[in-house]
């Protein structure tokens, strides 16, 4: 069983989970430094300063290291 750690939905296969991750509304931010995804609320306290929630990761700053999955999708199409 593969579970999306953002919305806790479970999937039978890893592929199904991967596909879901692209559309998951709970994993909207993407860190290009560590490649992780997380909720916007996890990356910011005040909606102004953004930091990667991964303590091991130096990524930070919206549109610098952190991007909205939505924006990436629009940009590449
Ligand atoms: Zn999800
Ligand atoms: Zn990161």
In the chain, the number of structural domains is: 1
C-alpha 52/C-alpha 38 separation (Å) is 9
Give the domain extent around 20. Answer: 2-75
Least Cα distance to 54 among 40, 34, 27, 32 occurs for: 34
Ligand 2 midpoint to CA 32 (Å)? 7
Pick the residue with more confidence: 42 or 25? 42
Say which ligand is closest to the CA of 55: 2
Query: Which pLDDT band, with edges at 50, 70 and 90, does 27 fall under?
Result: confident
Each residue's pLDDT tens digit, 38-57: 888 889 999 899 999 999 99
Sequential DSSP letters for 42-62 = HHBSSSSSBB-S-TT---BTB
**How far apart (Å, rounded) are the C-alpha atoms in residues 6 and 11?**
13
Considering every ligand atom, which ligand is closest to the CA of 50? 2
What is the H or E stretch that residue 74 is in?
helix 69-75
Give the H/E segment covering residue 22. Answer: helix 14-23
> Which pTM value belongs to this model?
0.68
């Amino acid at each position: 069983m593969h579970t999306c750690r953002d919305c806790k939905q479970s999937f039978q296969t890893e592929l199904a989970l991967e596909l879901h991750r692209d559309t998951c509304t709970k994993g909207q931010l993407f860190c290009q430094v560590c490649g992780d995804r997380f909720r916007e609320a996890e990356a910011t306290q005040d909606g102004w300063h953004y930091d990667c929630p991964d303590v091991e990761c130096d990524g930070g700053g919206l549109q610098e290291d952190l991007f909205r999955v939505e924006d990436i999708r629009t940009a590449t199409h």
